[in-house]
Amino acid sequence: MTYAEAIKWLLLQESRGIEWDDYSAETEQIRKEAEKRIREAYQIAITALINQEPRILTLNEVKRGDPKEDMEYLFPVFLERCDRNYIVSRLIDLYESENEYVIMSCGRNDWEEYRYEDYNKTWRCWSTEPTEEQRKAVKWDA
């Protein structure tokens, strides 16, 4: 099942409501609270699935990271280069240099420089690992 299919089924089930065996006044408060919590649970699940769908990060999202010492950032992304036919890395160290480019480490001694102005032209980052079909479907800004 794909994320889209799971979201579709959750939305369908959420819209149906709950059928109770007991609609008495004694259980009314419990039913109302349960229905509220179940609606919240559906919304959390749907939102989580939507957020897990791979997408191209904006340049600001790539630059944000989590500040550490010496302007270093460490966070998981999937780096794609237009001259390669695969994803380069899952965990990247970012170092900003004079707001012109970012230097990324794909391994302990594997440093590469990427200019901000070339983002989504020669390199881009994904939120989670995309399929080959997803990568090919999202066009580069030429």
* pLDDT tens profile 42-54: 999 988 888 778 8
> In angstroms, rounded to a whole number, what is the distance separating the alpha carbons of residues 77 and 125?
6
User: What does the pLDDT read at residue 120?
Assistant: 92
Overall pTM surpassing 0.85 (yes/no): no
Q: For residues 23-42, give the mean pLDDT.
A: 93
Q: For 9, which DSSP code?
A: H
Average pLDDT over every residue of 34-43: 92
DSSP code per residue over 61-123: HHHH----GGGEEEEEEEEEETTSSSEEEEEEEEEEETTTEEEEEEETTEEEEEEGGGBTTTE
